[in-house]
Amino acid sequence: MDIERTVLCENLKKFRLAKNFTQEQVADILNVNTQTVSRWECGTTLPDVLSLPVLAGIYGVTIDDFYKKNPEAYDNYAQRLAAVYEKTRNPDDFMNCLYEYKKLIKEGTLSIEDKWNYAAIHQWMLEYCQNEAMKWYDNILNGGPDLDEHSFYRACACRISLLSTLGKGEEAILQQKARADADPENPQEMDLLLDAYICAGKIQEAYDCFLRAIEKFPDAWTLYINGGEVCEKLKKYEEAIWCYDKAGEIGTFFFDELYSKAMLYEKTGDYGKACELYGEIAEKLRRKGFDVEADMAQRSAEKDGFMAKEKEDHESEE
Protein backbone atom coordinates (compact mmCIF):
# COMPACT_ATOMS: atom_id res chain seq x y z
CA MET A 1 0.00 0.00 0.00
CA ASP A 2 1.46 3.43 -0.94
CA ILE A 3 2.15 6.04 1.74
CA GLU A 4 -0.70 8.36 0.79
CA ARG A 5 -3.20 5.51 0.86
CA THR A 6 -1.84 4.32 4.21
CA VAL A 7 -2.13 7.80 5.74
CA LEU A 8 -5.70 8.13 4.47
CA CYS A 9 -6.78 4.81 5.94
CA GLU A 10 -5.11 5.49 9.29
CA ASN A 11 -6.75 8.89 9.54
CA LEU A 12 -10.18 7.53 8.65
CA LYS A 13 -9.93 5.23 11.65
CA LYS A 14 -8.26 7.79 13.90
CA PHE A 15 -10.89 10.46 13.29
CA ARG A 16 -13.73 7.97 13.78
CA LEU A 17 -12.37 6.80 17.12
CA ALA A 18 -11.71 10.38 18.24
CA LYS A 19 -15.43 11.00 17.81
CA ASN A 20 -16.39 7.74 19.52
CA PHE A 21 -18.24 6.56 16.42
CA THR A 22 -18.59 2.88 15.60
CA GLN A 23 -18.20 1.67 12.06
CA GLU A 24 -21.92 0.83 12.12
CA GLN A 25 -22.85 4.41 13.01
CA VAL A 26 -20.72 5.87 10.24
CA ALA A 27 -22.16 3.36 7.79
CA ASP A 28 -25.70 4.39 8.76
CA ILE A 29 -24.94 8.06 8.19
CA LEU A 30 -23.44 7.36 4.77
CA ASN A 31 -26.10 4.81 3.87
CA VAL A 32 -23.49 2.11 3.18
CA ASN A 33 -22.86 -1.21 4.89
CA THR A 34 -20.44 -1.67 7.79
CA GLN A 35 -18.07 -3.77 5.70
CA THR A 36 -17.58 -0.83 3.34
CA VAL A 37 -16.39 1.41 6.19
CA SER A 38 -14.15 -1.39 7.43
CA ARG A 39 -12.59 -1.85 3.99
CA TRP A 40 -11.88 1.90 3.79
CA GLU A 41 -10.00 1.81 7.08
CA CYS A 42 -8.09 -1.31 6.05
CA GLY A 43 -7.22 0.12 2.65
CA THR A 44 -8.93 -2.62 0.67
CA THR A 45 -11.04 0.03 -1.02
CA LEU A 46 -11.24 3.83 -0.74
CA PRO A 47 -14.15 6.23 -0.20
CA ASP A 48 -15.48 7.87 -3.34
CA VAL A 49 -15.33 11.62 -3.93
CA LEU A 50 -18.90 12.08 -2.66
CA SER A 51 -18.27 10.29 0.62
CA LEU A 52 -15.12 12.19 1.62
CA PRO A 53 -16.83 15.59 2.22
CA VAL A 54 -19.50 13.88 4.34
CA LEU A 55 -16.85 12.04 6.36
CA ALA A 56 -14.96 15.31 6.85
CA GLY A 57 -18.09 16.96 8.22
CA ILE A 58 -18.80 14.03 10.57
CA TYR A 59 -15.29 14.01 11.97
CA GLY A 60 -14.82 17.80 12.15
CA VAL A 61 -11.93 17.99 9.71
CA THR A 62 -11.27 19.04 6.14
CA ILE A 63 -10.66 16.67 3.27
CA ASP A 64 -7.00 17.73 3.27
CA ASP A 65 -6.67 16.48 6.85
CA PHE A 66 -7.28 12.90 5.69
CA TYR A 67 -3.95 13.03 3.82
CA LYS A 68 -1.83 14.63 6.57
CA LYS A 69 0.43 12.73 8.90
CA ASN A 70 -0.42 13.28 12.57
CA PRO A 71 -3.26 15.77 11.97
CA GLU A 72 -5.30 17.21 14.82
CA ALA A 73 -8.93 16.23 15.07
CA TYR A 74 -11.37 18.96 16.04
CA ASP A 75 -14.58 18.57 18.01
CA ASN A 76 -16.56 19.60 14.95
CA TYR A 77 -16.17 20.98 11.47
CA ALA A 78 -16.91 24.53 12.62
CA GLN A 79 -13.88 24.48 14.93
CA ARG A 80 -11.71 23.28 12.06
CA LEU A 81 -12.93 26.14 9.88
CA ALA A 82 -12.37 28.60 12.73
CA ALA A 83 -8.73 27.46 12.85
CA VAL A 84 -8.46 28.04 9.11
CA TYR A 85 -9.97 31.51 9.41
CA GLU A 86 -7.69 32.43 12.31
CA LYS A 87 -4.76 31.73 10.00
CA THR A 88 -6.02 33.29 6.77
CA ARG A 89 -8.31 36.11 8.01
CA ASN A 90 -10.02 35.75 4.66
CA PRO A 91 -13.69 36.94 4.64
CA ASP A 92 -14.70 33.89 2.58
CA ASP A 93 -13.30 31.63 5.31
CA PHE A 94 -15.23 33.65 7.89
CA MET A 95 -18.48 33.08 6.00
CA ASN A 96 -17.80 29.33 5.72
CA CYS A 97 -17.10 29.15 9.44
CA LEU A 98 -20.14 31.27 10.30
CA TYR A 99 -22.39 28.96 8.29
CA GLU A 100 -21.21 25.91 10.25
CA TYR A 101 -21.59 27.64 13.59
CA LYS A 102 -25.11 28.80 12.69
CA LYS A 103 -26.01 25.14 12.22
CA LEU A 104 -24.64 24.28 15.68
CA ILE A 105 -26.54 27.19 17.22
CA LYS A 106 -29.75 26.01 15.60
CA GLU A 107 -29.12 22.48 16.92
CA GLY A 108 -28.31 23.86 20.39
CA THR A 109 -25.04 21.94 20.55
CA LEU A 110 -22.49 24.72 21.14
CA SER A 111 -19.80 23.84 23.67
CA ILE A 112 -17.88 26.45 25.69
CA GLU A 113 -15.03 26.20 23.19
CA ASP A 114 -17.51 26.68 20.35
CA LYS A 115 -18.87 29.82 22.01
CA TRP A 116 -15.34 31.15 22.45
CA ASN A 117 -14.54 30.42 18.82
CA TYR A 118 -17.79 31.98 17.64
CA ALA A 119 -17.04 35.17 19.56
CA ALA A 120 -13.42 35.21 18.37
CA ILE A 121 -14.22 34.90 14.66
CA HIS A 122 -16.55 37.89 14.97
CA GLN A 123 -13.85 39.88 16.73
CA TRP A 124 -11.36 39.06 13.98
CA MET A 125 -13.92 39.96 11.33
CA LEU A 126 -14.69 43.21 13.15
CA GLU A 127 -11.00 44.16 13.04
CA TYR A 128 -10.86 43.30 9.35
CA CYS A 129 -13.97 45.37 8.59
CA GLN A 130 -12.70 48.35 10.56
CA ASN A 131 -9.39 48.28 8.71
CA GLU A 132 -11.11 47.90 5.34
CA ALA A 133 -13.51 50.76 6.09
CA MET A 134 -10.67 53.06 7.12
CA LYS A 135 -8.65 52.11 4.04
CA TRP A 136 -11.48 53.04 1.68
CA TYR A 137 -12.49 56.18 3.56
CA ASP A 138 -8.86 57.31 3.28
CA ASN A 139 -8.93 56.42 -0.41
CA ILE A 140 -11.94 58.70 -0.91
CA LEU A 141 -10.38 61.51 1.12
CA ASN A 142 -7.18 61.32 -0.91
CA GLY A 143 -9.23 61.74 -4.09
CA GLY A 144 -10.89 64.95 -2.91
CA PRO A 145 -14.50 66.16 -3.31
CA ASP A 146 -14.44 67.15 -6.98
CA LEU A 147 -15.93 63.96 -8.47
CA ASP A 148 -18.79 63.49 -6.00
CA GLU A 149 -18.99 66.14 -3.30
CA HIS A 150 -21.97 64.64 -1.44
CA SER A 151 -20.43 61.17 -1.15
CA PHE A 152 -17.06 62.68 -0.25
CA TYR A 153 -18.39 64.52 2.79
CA ARG A 154 -20.49 61.54 3.84
CA ALA A 155 -17.29 59.47 3.81
CA CYS A 156 -15.55 62.13 5.92
CA ALA A 157 -18.34 62.01 8.51
CA CYS A 158 -18.28 58.20 8.60
CA ARG A 159 -14.52 58.20 9.05
CA ILE A 160 -14.85 60.54 12.03
CA SER A 161 -17.47 58.25 13.54
CA LEU A 162 -15.25 55.20 13.01
CA LEU A 163 -12.26 56.88 14.65
CA SER A 164 -14.41 57.71 17.67
CA THR A 165 -15.68 54.14 17.83
CA LEU A 166 -12.06 53.02 17.93
CA GLY A 167 -11.39 55.33 20.87
CA LYS A 168 -9.64 57.91 18.72
CA GLY A 169 -12.09 60.78 19.13
CA GLU A 170 -9.40 63.29 20.07
CA GLU A 171 -7.42 62.30 16.99
CA ALA A 172 -10.51 62.87 14.83
CA ILE A 173 -11.00 66.33 16.35
CA LEU A 174 -7.38 67.35 15.74
CA GLN A 175 -7.46 66.10 12.16
CA GLN A 176 -10.72 67.89 11.42
CA LYS A 177 -9.56 71.11 13.07
CA ALA A 178 -6.62 71.08 10.68
CA ARG A 179 -8.93 70.53 7.71
CA ALA A 180 -11.29 73.33 8.81
CA ASP A 181 -8.37 75.73 9.38
CA ALA A 182 -7.00 74.90 5.93
CA ASP A 183 -10.36 75.64 4.30
CA PRO A 184 -11.98 78.32 6.52
CA GLU A 185 -14.63 79.39 3.99
CA ASN A 186 -16.08 75.88 3.62
CA PRO A 187 -19.14 75.34 5.87
CA GLN A 188 -18.99 71.58 5.36
CA GLU A 189 -15.56 71.40 6.99
CA MET A 190 -16.94 73.27 10.00
CA ASP A 191 -19.92 70.90 10.06
CA LEU A 192 -17.50 67.97 10.14
CA LEU A 193 -15.68 69.55 13.07
CA LEU A 194 -19.02 69.74 14.84
CA ASP A 195 -19.49 66.05 14.01
CA ALA A 196 -16.09 65.26 15.51
CA TYR A 197 -16.96 66.99 18.79
CA ILE A 198 -20.30 65.16 18.98
CA CYS A 199 -18.78 61.74 18.27
CA ALA A 200 -16.07 62.32 20.88
CA GLY A 201 -18.70 63.28 23.48
CA LYS A 202 -17.39 66.85 23.74
CA ILE A 203 -20.87 68.36 23.85
CA GLN A 204 -20.13 71.79 25.34
CA GLU A 205 -17.28 72.22 22.85
CA ALA A 206 -19.70 71.12 20.12
CA TYR A 207 -22.24 73.75 21.23
CA ASP A 208 -19.63 76.50 21.21
CA CYS A 209 -18.48 75.35 17.77
CA PHE A 210 -22.08 75.41 16.53
CA LEU A 211 -22.65 78.99 17.66
CA ARG A 212 -19.45 80.14 15.94
CA ALA A 213 -20.34 78.20 12.80
CA ILE A 214 -23.85 79.59 12.25
CA GLU A 215 -22.55 83.10 12.83
CA LYS A 216 -20.21 82.62 9.90
CA PHE A 217 -22.43 80.29 7.81
CA PRO A 218 -26.06 81.20 8.63
CA ASP A 219 -27.47 79.39 5.57
CA ALA A 220 -25.80 75.97 5.99
CA TRP A 221 -28.68 73.66 6.90
CA THR A 222 -26.49 70.74 7.98
CA LEU A 223 -25.07 72.90 10.78
CA TYR A 224 -28.55 73.36 12.20
CA ILE A 225 -29.29 69.64 12.12
CA ASN A 226 -26.09 68.87 14.03
CA GLY A 227 -26.69 71.87 16.27
CA GLY A 228 -30.13 70.55 17.12
CA GLU A 229 -28.60 67.25 18.16
CA VAL A 230 -26.15 69.10 20.41
CA CYS A 231 -28.97 71.11 21.97
CA GLU A 232 -30.87 67.89 22.65
CA LYS A 233 -27.89 66.43 24.48
CA LEU A 234 -27.76 69.60 26.58
CA LYS A 235 -31.54 69.30 27.14
CA LYS A 236 -32.09 72.61 25.37
CA TYR A 237 -35.17 71.21 23.65
CA GLU A 238 -36.77 74.48 22.54
CA GLU A 239 -33.49 75.57 21.01
CA ALA A 240 -33.21 72.18 19.28
CA ILE A 241 -36.66 72.67 17.71
CA TRP A 242 -35.57 76.13 16.55
CA CYS A 243 -32.50 74.57 14.91
CA TYR A 244 -34.57 71.97 13.09
CA ASP A 245 -37.12 74.55 11.93
CA LYS A 246 -34.31 76.76 10.68
CA ALA A 247 -32.84 73.83 8.72
CA GLY A 248 -36.27 73.24 7.19
CA GLU A 249 -36.57 76.86 6.15
CA ILE A 250 -33.24 76.66 4.35
CA GLY A 251 -34.10 73.28 2.80
CA THR A 252 -32.75 69.89 3.81
CA PHE A 253 -31.65 66.90 1.75
CA PHE A 254 -34.18 64.25 2.77
CA PHE A 255 -36.64 65.88 5.21
CA ASP A 256 -33.92 65.68 7.85
CA GLU A 257 -35.53 68.36 10.01
CA LEU A 258 -38.81 66.43 10.18
CA TYR A 259 -37.10 63.20 11.20
CA SER A 260 -35.06 65.04 13.84
CA LYS A 261 -38.11 66.77 15.30
CA ALA A 262 -40.11 63.53 15.33
CA MET A 263 -37.35 61.70 17.22
CA LEU A 264 -37.06 64.59 19.69
CA TYR A 265 -40.81 64.46 20.36
CA GLU A 266 -40.54 60.71 20.93
CA LYS A 267 -37.67 61.28 23.36
CA THR A 268 -39.70 63.82 25.34
CA GLY A 269 -42.86 61.71 25.33
CA ASP A 270 -44.92 63.88 22.96
CA TYR A 271 -46.04 60.93 20.86
CA GLY A 272 -48.94 62.80 19.30
CA LYS A 273 -46.68 65.34 17.62
CA ALA A 274 -44.24 62.59 16.63
CA CYS A 275 -47.12 60.67 15.03
CA GLU A 276 -48.17 63.73 13.02
CA LEU A 277 -44.64 64.35 11.80
CA TYR A 278 -44.05 60.76 10.72
CA GLY A 279 -47.36 60.86 8.87
CA GLU A 280 -46.22 64.02 7.09
CA ILE A 281 -42.88 62.42 6.24
CA ALA A 282 -44.62 59.31 4.86
CA GLU A 283 -46.84 61.45 2.63
CA LYS A 284 -43.92 63.49 1.29
CA LEU A 285 -41.82 60.40 0.62
CA ARG A 286 -44.63 58.64 -1.19
CA ARG A 287 -45.14 61.64 -3.47
CA LYS A 288 -41.47 61.43 -4.40
CA GLY A 289 -41.68 57.69 -5.09
CA PHE A 290 -39.76 56.48 -2.03
CA ASP A 291 -42.27 53.77 -1.12
CA VAL A 292 -40.00 51.70 1.16
CA GLU A 293 -39.00 54.72 3.23
CA ALA A 294 -42.61 55.91 3.26
CA ASP A 295 -43.78 52.57 4.65
CA MET A 296 -41.18 52.79 7.40
CA ALA A 297 -42.29 56.30 8.33
CA GLN A 298 -45.90 55.18 8.33
CA ARG A 299 -45.11 52.33 10.72
CA SER A 300 -43.39 54.84 13.03
CA ALA A 301 -46.50 57.03 12.86
CA GLU A 302 -48.71 54.09 13.79
CA LYS A 303 -46.42 53.12 16.67
CA ASP A 304 -46.39 56.67 18.04
CA GLY A 305 -50.14 56.95 17.57
CA PHE A 306 -50.55 53.83 19.70
CA MET A 307 -48.14 55.22 22.32
CA ALA A 308 -50.04 58.53 22.41
CA LYS A 309 -53.32 56.67 23.01
CA GLU A 310 -51.75 54.54 25.75
CA LYS A 311 -50.39 57.65 27.47
CA GLU A 312 -53.74 59.43 27.20
CA ASP A 313 -55.61 56.45 28.69
CA HIS A 314 -53.07 56.16 31.51
CA GLU A 315 -53.36 59.87 32.37
CA SER A 316 -57.19 59.72 32.33
CA GLU A 317 -57.13 56.79 34.78
CA GLU A 318 -55.01 58.82 37.18
Quote the distance between the C-alpha of residue 165 and its chain's center: 13
pLDDT of residue 73 exceeding 70: no
Q: What is the DSSP string of 41-61?
A: HHTSS---TTHHHHHHHHHT-
**pTM of the predicted structure, to 2 decimals:** 0.73
According to the model, what pLDDT value does residue 36 have? 93
According to the model, what pLDDT value does residue 34 have? 93
- Residue ranges per domain, the chain? 1-73, 78-143, 146-253, 259-318
pLDDT digits (tens, 9 = 90+) for 159-181: 999 999 999 999 999 999 999 99
Residues near 216 by beta carbon (within 8 Å), at least 6 away in sequence? 187, 190
Residues written for the chain = 318
pLDDT of residue 71 exceeding 70: no
244-252 long-range Cβ contacts below 8 angstroms, 24+ apart: 246/221, 247/221, 247/222, 250/219, 250/220, 250/221, 250/224, 251/221, 252/221, 252/225
pLDDT digits (tens, 9 = 90+) for 25-52: 999 999 999 999 999 999 889 898 888 8
According to the model, what pLDDT value does residue 90 have? 93
Residues near 18 by beta carbon (within 8 Å), at least 6 away in sequence? 59, 73
Which class in CATH covers the domain with range 146-253? mainly alpha
Mean pLDDT, residues 221-236: 97
Which class in CATH covers the domain with range 1-73? mainly alpha
Quote the distance between the C-alpha of residue 149 and its chain's center: 25
